[in-house]
Amino acid sequence: MFSWSAGVVWVTSIPDYPALSVVSGAFFYIGATLVLLRYIYKRRWLDIFLLLSIPILLLPSILSLAYPGENPNLYRTGGAAVPAFLFIGLAFDSLMKGLEERLSHPWGPRLAWSIFTVLFVLSAILNYDLVFNKYYEQYQHSAQNTSEMGEVIHGFVDTGGDPGSAWVMGYPHWADTRLVSINAGYPLVDFALFSDVIEDTLEVPAPKLFIVHPEDKTSIDTLPQFYEDGWFQRYNAALQAKDFLIYFVPGNETGG
């Protein structure tokens, strides 16, 4: 997990990327080796405790047998980050102290702090790219655009609609309607609706709004059967692959 792959859960990490970057990953193994050597020579119980704490704190992920595809998983192994970064800090501290003590003054401290600056800047650049570029890009493509759906419903209400007259048609592996509700500003309203119960919406007064997945053929065919005066409109999302359909049913006074 630390040096090869932190799993495939895109919510918490970049799939198949290691949990640690190049700099921190290298110092993690150096620190673990130093602690192991110190235990061998000095037999300090704290050292063996730190070494064993890593596999122990990985157990919440290791024992997640019901979801083998999510193993390893960063949010189940969060506890292991504490001793892992202790190892990184120990290795870094040992490097700087070794340079300061073994080289004559002032070259030892100067070299130590120069190496620190270079590694710090390198680590910052690598992690910035991982978080704000690679992770952001893959998250945008993996997550559903529930914020845009919420904005559409919010706009519908602002222009005369009612929160109880808007729905998101259920479709496999699509938007979580709880997030749509939160983004729309109505966290207690359940906007979920399935095509087999569209008839139940006939009792709700118009205007009405239905958000539909572009590949949901059942809903696309069923809605016009119940609402002949409605029409479809494609919503152009920020990412083209996230476009969705809006089916609007006007009332006697359509508002905006």
Report which residue type is found at 175: A
Query: Residue 227 above 60 pLDDT?
Result: yes
Rounded Cα distance between 156 and 255, Å, is: 9
Residue owning tokens 């029409």: 231
Residues linked to residue 169 through DSSP beta bridges, in sequence order: 193
Q: Residue 55 is inside which H or E element, if any?
A: helix 45-57
- pLDDT band (50, 70, 90) for residue 251: confident
Q: Return the SS3 of 239.
A: coil
Query: Residue 36 above 60 pLDDT?
Result: yes
* Stretch 191-217: mean pLDDT: 93
Strands 166-169 and 231-235, sheet pairing: unpaired
Residues linked to residue 231 through DSSP beta bridges, in sequence order: 248
Q: Enter the tokens of residue 93.
A: 């501290």
What integer pLDDT is reported at residue 254 of this predicted model? 41
Q: Which residues have C-beta within 8 Å of that of residue 1, sequence separation ≥ 6?
A: 7, 18, 19, 58, 61, 72, 77
Residues linked to residue 168 through DSSP beta bridges, in sequence order: 192, 211
pLDDT in tens, 44-81: 999 999 999 999 999 999 998 888 888 898 989 999 99
Please answer whether residues 150 and 235 qualify as being in contact, where contact means their C-beta atoms are separated by less than 8 angstroms: no
Number of H helices, E strands in the chain: 9, 5
What integer pLDDT is reported at residue 101 of this predicted model? 86
**What phi and psi, each to the nearest 5 degrees, are found at residue 17?**
-100, 150
- pLDDT band (50, 70, 90) for residue 252: low
Q: Enter the tokens of residue 148.
A: 């845009």
* Stretch 198-203: mean pLDDT: 92
Please answer whether residues 63 and 72 qualify as being in contact, where contact means their C-beta atoms are separated by less than 8 angstroms: no
Query: Residue 144 above 80 pLDDT?
Result: yes
Task: For residue 138, give the nearest of 6, 2, 11 by alpha carbon.
Answer: 11
Q: Give, in degrees to the nearest 5, the angle at Cα 163 between 160 and 165.
A: 85
Task: For residue 35, give the nearest of 93, 91, 81 by alpha carbon.
Answer: 91
Rounded Cα distance between 231 and 250, Å, is: 9
